[in-house]
Structures are given as structure tokens and as C-alpha cells.
Amino acid sequence: MSANINDWKKEAEKQMKGKSVSSLEQMTPENIPVKPLYTQEDLENIEHVNTMPGLPSFTRGPYPTMYTVRPWTIRQYAGFSTAKESNEFYRKNLAAGQMGLSVAFDLATHRGYDSDNPRVAGDVGKAGVAIDSVEDMKILFDHIPLDKMSVSMTMNGAVLPILASYIVAAEEQGVKQGLLTGTIQNDILKEFLTRNTYIYPPMPSMRIVSDIIAYCSKNIPKYNTVSISGYHMMEAGANSVQQAAFTIADGIEYIRAAIKAGLDIDDFGPRLSFFFGIGMNFFMNIAMLRAARQIWYEETMKFNPKDMKSCMLRTHCQTSGWSLTEQDPYNNIIRTTIECMAAVLGGTQSLHTNSFDEAIGLPTQFSSRIARNTQIVVQEETGICKVIDPLGGSYYVESLTNSIIVEARKLLKEIESMGGMAKAIESGMPKKLIEEAAARTQARIEQQKDIIVGVNKYKLAKEEEIQVLEVPDTVRLEQIEALKKLRASRDNNLVKKTLENITKAAQSDANLLETVIHAVKARATVGEISDAMEKVFGRYNAKTELIAGVYSSEYNAAKNDDFKRARERTFEFAEKHGRRPRILIAKIGQDGHDRGSKIVATAFADLGFDVDLTPMFVTPEEAAKMAAENDAHAIGASSLAAGHKYIVPTLVSTLKILGCPEIMVFIGGVIPHQDYEQLYKDGAVGVFGPGTNIIESANQILDAIE
């Protein structure tokens, strides 16, 4: 073998005109060296190479026959506007070949607010379906038999009223709890780490998780009580090693919480599931899923399970939303197809493929059909389903899998030394690593070290306008009207009593899900139920902090001319005006994705701006007041949930009321091009869509405020 390798090196170096083959080796963001050639020798001493699918350590797949007998479940994560419109969308997709439902809720629902709460005026129905009560849930699943349909619900903050509403809606449909199948995400640790749609502090939130596990293990044995999610870690910037390690660490924490609550691992272990994000590094993502299965097996074996299903990592996957581009958006169909293939070759159990227009706005019926058909074509036309683990034994994939296992174990060891994932999250360690990774990625893209077709290479001279779905404000008004009717028709004395019982349960060790189900039956709303627990638990407010120096170090700021010139301009501004340019980066509304705002804040600070960060979930009025109090030159508002038409005019009018019309408003995020003109009319000075070069945006802001 070694002789053959030496011969290969000689021939390769001839082709490379004398350069060493070692110059082809690259270091990935995961700190894993990738060689130009892998051979049999790279598989020596890698134990999992000799395992079989469906057998411990499950590296090659959780089931012996995988897709040859049962292909992965095709899901579409969807929900928008009202329950009625979402129901119509679901029924069309099910008739067209979709095999399970994945429900997206709007941000007001995620955060435990009813649609008539003034804090969510710009969020109702925009990024998912609005659910205010069990009446909405019944409409959502009208004519969808819940005893036959697997339903996945992405919900964490308001998980109790939402899961209870689903249970009650099924019962009123005539379906007993024990027949329900599907998954509730119920992964609150991930919320504190990246997604941020939490309501209560960590400790009571973990109590809610264990109460749901306990209730469902007893009453809904076929239902997956926790979907441990790495997806939002990836979307926030985590690399594949970080996604694998932090997701597994979250799972370990949930096992410990359930055992502490009196359960045995085999009572709930087989019903735990996972949710991974799949990005554009094809082989790395395949290897990540394989590595995660082995690591989960090793970690769960420490709890002495008798049922091997407790050690079997089963996962749903979703293609990356972050990898979708506003520029030349039809390229996103290709990206999603590649990511779909990676998830399948990695051995996922179900999959959601994103629509190509999600970097521009909410997906349309047209784009959703293409996304769904992507999976159908891969499943029906490629022949992938004819072979169990087709990449098993690949020199590269098996070696890469082992490298991820080795690196992820290092992170897990560090987390354990801190006392587990909850303690690590409190320390800020995982969040800091993810934010640093995101900032480095952004700097690499801007320098063309990482190529994104249509964004930093092969750009179109003129972008084509794409039709997007727009959710009108009438949706919020419809929800408010429905709430008025509900409150007028129900037994409000009974509702009051059930809400008081929830508050008492929060103060005791009574099972919260069981108590909430009674309130849902009485027609208590999501907001009322959330408020009843907030009286005891409080509402959590996370600290917002900047990381410094990461963006500039990846840029090699001392040598990069564009970076140096932008920083010189901030120094010149300070000399001219007696202080540095000051910008408030504002996360407005209930969307918790803060990758973009954190990267911009970090980069601007490295470029010499004075940067203030608002807390999460502020209103436009609160952001404007902070900008005025901090004497900012500009506000940079972040919009990811279709709230931009509400944010900009409200900011501008509030600044005028406060006597600060000179503070300039910029907005960035997922904003359709056809809305730019209106935003400028409403008073925005700059609009920055996905893929905007940060140095260019900084220069544009300096031009405006000088």
C-alpha cells in the first residue's frame, strides 16, 4: 500500500509541477485536516467500520434495513397566517405525497403571547400559524385524522399550552391520547443557546420538559416527547463538530432531568428523537450524522439501559435556511437538493427541504411544491433506497466520521467538567464558540475564501424579482376578533379557576401538562396559560454581549485594504465630530434568530464603531428610546420574520416624537426587493438584504451620518 501511495505522490507532484502534495491539505472550520487522498490505511483502528446497520453502535444507521424497507418520512415544515389557511395547505400537500406534518407556529405563539398583545403587533401569523386557543388547533387539523397522521410540532417556550391544545383537539376529534404519534420539540436548552424563543428561566423550563416526558410516557407512549435540536445551532453559526457535541450534551441533560424526576431511562429513552441541520459541506454533514449516532450510543450506555432503543439515535433533518441566498435565488433549489442528499446518505429518518425563496420571504405554494418534490425525486428516482448505507466503508467518509467523533468528545469532556450542558450554557461557553464560528464564516465569505455562487462570485448583473408570499395585517385582526368571541362565549369563572390551578401547580410538584390540559378544555388561551405560570417562574431576559476581535482576526485586518480603509474612516469621523460613530443594533419583535445582528455588531465594533445592542424582543418604541438615550447616530434594525413594514415606519415616527429625527434608520434581514422602495418612503436610509458585505454596509452608513 505504501509503495502505491509513494507512486501516486510522484505522479501527482509531476502534475503539480513539483509542488508538494501536502499543499493540497486543508483545515476545515471544525479544525479537521482534510487530505487530498484517503486509502485503506486511514481506516486502521477505527472501530465503527466493522459495525452493521441497526446494531450497536448504530453508526451505520438505526435500523437493519434502512430505506430498502421503509424510506425516510417526507415532511414539510409549514404554517402561516391563520389555522384555516394552514389546514388547506397541509391537506393539499398530503394529497400530493407528503407523509407527515411538521407545524410551524408564529413567533407570538412561541413566546406565549395572544395575538391581541401589543408586543406582537408585527409578528402575528408572519413566520408560522397563529394559535391562540384549542379552537385554532381544531381548525388546524380539521379533516386530518390524528389517529393516523404523525404530527411534528416545533414548540419549546409555550410547549405546555400547545401540546395540551393538540391533545384536546384530538380528543374532541374522537382520538384517544394513546393513539397519537409524532414529536413535540420540547428542547428548551437549545433556546437558551441559540434560538431564543424561551419564556421562563432555565430551571423551571427544565421542570416543564421533565413533566412532559413523565405525562407522555404514561399516557401517550407512541409520542416522541423531546426532539433534541442542533438545527438552530447550525443556523446560528455552529460548525458540524459543535452541532454534534452540543446537541448530544443537551440530550444527556434531558436524560438526567427525567431520571431525577423518578423515571428510568427505558421509560422515555426510546421516545427521544433528534433534529439536525444539514448545510452545504456535503461529506462533513454525512459524517456528522454517523458520528452523532455513535456518540449518543456511547453516552446513553453510561445510564445502563436494558432496551437498546434507548441508545438509538433517530433523527429528523432540515436543509439549511442560512445557506439560502437572496441573490440568484434559483440556485437555492440546487443547494437544497445537495443538502437533501447529504441528509439521506447520512441516514436521516425524516426530512424537511426548504423552499428556494425563504431568503426573500415566506414560501409560496409554488416554491413549497418544488421543495417537496425534491425529496420525492431523490426517493423515487435515484436508486438510493435500494442499498443500505451506500457510503459505508468509504475511506473518506469513515475517516471524517472518526475525526468528528474525536473532536466532539473533546467538547463533551469540557462540558462535563463544567457540570453539564445547563451549567455550560449559564457560563456562556457554547454560545461564545458558536458566535465566534459565525463571525469567522462571515469574514471568510467576504474575502472569497468561502465561495457562495451569486453572492461573492458569478454575480448576476441584474437580479430577477421573485414573487413572495405576504401575510396581511388582517390576519392579526381576525385572530383578535376570534379571541373576543371566545372570551365572550366561554365560562370565564371556570377559566379563572383552571388558571389559578396552574399557578398552584407551578408552586408545587404537580404535573404541569396534566393541569394545563384542564385549562385548555375550559378554553383558556395560550397567553393566559403562559401568564399563569409566569406569576411563579418569571419571564427570562438574556444578557446580550459582544464578542471582540474575531471578525478582524479572520480578515487579517492589518493587511486587508478594504478593512483598513473602513476603520480609518471611523477614526476620521471621530476626529471630525469629537466621538466615534455610534450605532444601536436592535433585535425588534419576537424573532430569536440573532446570528445576523450579532455578526454585524461584532464586525462594526472591530471596524471602530461604538456599538450598543438592545435586549432581545424589544418593540420599535423601546429601540427608538434606547437610541435617543444613548445619543446614537443610527439604528440598525434586524428583521427576519416579515415584520419590516411595521418596524421601519414605527421607528421613524417614534424618533420624531422623541425629538430625534436626525437618528437614521437602517434595516437588514430577509426583506423582498419589491419592498425596498416602500421602506425608503417610510424613512429607512439603507436596506441590507442577506449576503450584504458588512464593510460595504459600514461605508454606506458612514456616508449617511457624516
**Active site residues per annotation:** 77, 231-232, 587, 591, 593
Contact 168, 517 (CB under 8 A): yes
In angstroms, the Cα distances linking 83 to 165, 405, 468, 477, 523 are 13, 43, 20, 14, 17
Rounded-to-integer distance, Cα 74 and Cα 352, Å: 7
DSSP alpha helix (H) spans, 457-594: 474-489, 492-507, 512-521, 526-537, 550-555, 561-577
Distance CA 216, CA 180 (A): 10
Angle between the N-to-C axes of helices 202-219 and 159-172, in degrees from 0 to 180, rounded to the nearest 10? 20
Q: Could you report how far apart the first and last alpha carbons of the chain are, in Å?
A: 66
Instruction: Name the phi and psi angles at 26, rounded to 5.
Output: -125, 150
Question: Rounded distance, CA 19 to CA 34, Å?
Answer: 18
User: Taking a C-beta distance cutoff of 8 angstroms, is the pair 557, 567 a contact?
Assistant: yes
Q: Are strands 684-688 and 151-153 parallel, antiparallel or unpaired?
A: unpaired
**In what side-by-side order are the strands of the sheet with 634-639?**
610-613, 582-587, 634-639, 664-669, 684-688
DSSP single-letter state for residue 278: E
Q: Would you call the peptide bond into 57 cis, given omega within 30 degrees of 0 as the criterion?
A: yes
Alpha carbon 167 to its chain centroid, in Å, reads 25
Geometric angle at alpha carbon 197, from 240 and 265, rounded to 5°: 65
Query: How far is it, in rounded angstroms, from Cα 109 to Cα 591?
Result: 11
- Give the C-alpha separation, 279 to 191, whole Å: 20
Rounded Cα distance, 395 and 400, in Å: 9
Q: Is the dihedral of CA 482, 484, 488, 492 positive or negative?
A: positive
Strands of 341-388 (E only): list them: 350-352
Which H/E stretch holds residue 216?
helix 202-219
- Residues 40 and 633: their CA atoms lie apart, in Å, by 61
Please give the distance of CA 405 from its chain centroid, rounded to a whole number.
23
C-alpha cell at 535: 406569576
Please give the torsion angle defined by the CA atoms of residues 440, 443, 448 and 454, in that order, rounded to the nearest 10 degrees: 100
Using CA atoms of 294, 244, 156, 369 in order, give the dihedral in degrees to the nearest 10: -90
- Name the DSSP class of 72: P
